[in-house]
Amino acid sequence: MILPKTSRIWILTIAGVFFIASDILVNFYHPPALLWVMIGISFGSILVSRRYLPEIFLLSRYSFVVNFILLFLRFPLLETWPMFLLMRLIGLTLLALGFRDLKRSSGVRSGTTKPVLWAGSAFVVVVSTAALALWFEYFSDKILLQQWTNQLPTGNLALIILAGFGFAIVNAIIEEFIWRGALWRSLAPIFSPVAIIILQALSFGAIHFEGIPSGVPGVVLAFIYGLMLGIIRHKSNGLLLPVIAHFFADLCIYGYLVFWLA
């Protein structure tokens, strides 16, 4: 069955808005029941879209894999050390398996690395570091910070340092793979680059409501940060520079947490 062009445009637009809106909603409020509902909807959409609307197939698959990982991460056992880092490694493995074909597309590649893009990435690192320092000082939730520090190793200094680098590397790759990789590639057949930059930043900001930085200020900061990383990803046409910039931000977060715990 071949749908008329006008009908396809409307269906693609509505489906794209639905999936990104549900993605933002799940990031804000992700009880298991809602995650199960989105997993079911995504799976049904995968079965239908693969044949009739291939443009929606990538987005449906993105929603299915990411919601499954979010459901997986809800187990309390995974919120303590060393499971905190291990579950991120498992999540990265699931993403790699779920989107292995993206390595052959523009969804996952290093991209161009012109000097001006390196300078832009360095600017993002400086701005994000300063913004995180302000958030920790004036807007952070001390109770939430205590929960996060429970996930850090204690005692051995070498272990603390290695864990920090491990967390920053793995978490940066995972989040860039999700938002500037899988989600970006999934939205590409439907929306313009400007719209993609804004939509992925909205989703990225929403998931930080209970993360670091958290709360409404954290969502705003993460949204702006997502916009900057999105621009770098668009200009470089790859993930190398966004991952590097994100790595330094995560390293700062880890350092702030260790300093706050001490």
pLDDT tens, N- to C-terminus, the chain (262 residues): 455 556 666 666 777 777 777 777 766 666 677 778 888 888 888 888 777 777 788 788 888 887 777 776 666 555 666 666 677 677 777 777 777 666 554 445 667 778 999 999 999 999 999 999 999 988 888 777 777 777 777 778 888 888 889 889 988 988 898 889 888 888 888 889 999 999 999 989 888 887 888 888 999 999 999 999 999 999 999 899 999 999 999 999 989 888 876 6
For residue 231, the model assigns a pLDDT of 96
The residues spanned by each domain of the chain are: 7-79, 101-262
Phi, psi of 106 (to 5 degrees): -75, 0
Cβ neighbours of residue 180 closer than 8 Å, sequence gap 6 or more: 200, 229, 230, 233, 239, 242
For residue 77, the model assigns a pLDDT of 57
For residue 106, the model assigns a pLDDT of 47
Tokens found for residue 179: 């938002």
Exposed / middle / buried, residue 131 (Cβ in 10 Å: 0-12, 13-18, 19+): buried
How many C-beta atoms surround the C-beta of residue 152 within 10 A?
Answer: 18
Which helix or strand (DSSP H or E) is residue 217 part of? helix 215-236
Check if the beta carbon of residue 121 is closer than 8 Å to that of residue 232.
yes
Check if the beta carbon of residue 97 is closer than 8 Å to that of residue 64.
no
Check if the beta carbon of residue 176 is closer than 8 Å to that of residue 167.
no
| pTM higher than the cut 0.85 | no
End-to-end CA separation in angstroms for the chain: 64
**CA–CA–CA angle 176, 243, 193 (5° rounding):** 55
For residue 160, the model assigns a pLDDT of 85
